[in-house]
Amino acid sequence: MRNIIIVIAALMLNSTFVLASDKPLTSPDKVAAGEKLFATNCSTCHGPQGKGDGPAAMAFNPKPRNLQTEPFKGGTEDAKIFATISNGLTGSNMPGFAQLNETDRWNLAFFVKLLRKN
């Protein structure tokens, strides 16, 4: 019951709040699609390899996270990465990308997870 109340409150406060739905299976094609989405939507802040060194990074405090080495504030599980991409992070400059369709957000999550592993 408490979780339902939290979700309802979050939905009322932020109309772009998105819950991670059933996670699709990943594939090389999905990761490649995520890499293209990362280059378009994320590399300006996080840099082309996700090291937090994009051209806009100097303008932010706190700086964008180095996705390869720094802990993820929202967690490293696929669904948590998806939720962070969808909703952004409170208390940081990380916006949500709910304007991307669900498939694109999952593909982006798969690529970000791969950055972490490498």
Which residue ranges make up each domain of the chain?
A: 2-117
Distance CA 96, CA 27 (A): 24
Of 78, 84, 82, which Cα lies nearest the Cα of 117?
A: 78
Fold of 2-117: Cytochrome Bc1 Complex; Chain D, domain 2 (1.10.760)
Q: What is the pLDDT of residue 116?
A: 85
| Number of residues that this document lists for the chain | 118
Average pLDDT over residues 24-38: 93
Radius of gyration of the chain (CA): 14
User: And the tokens for 109?
Assistant: 């999550």
Distances in whole angstroms, Cα of residue 18 to Cα of each of 11, 64, 76: 8, 22, 17
Angle at 13 between CA 72 and CA 94, to 5 degrees: 30
User: And the tokens for 91?
Assistant: 């208390």
pLDDT surpasses 80 at 18: no
Going by pLDDT thresholds of 50, 70 and 90, the confidence category of residue 9 is very low
* 77 secondary structure, DSSP code: S
User: And the tokens for 19?
Assistant: 């819950």
* 76 secondary structure, DSSP code: S
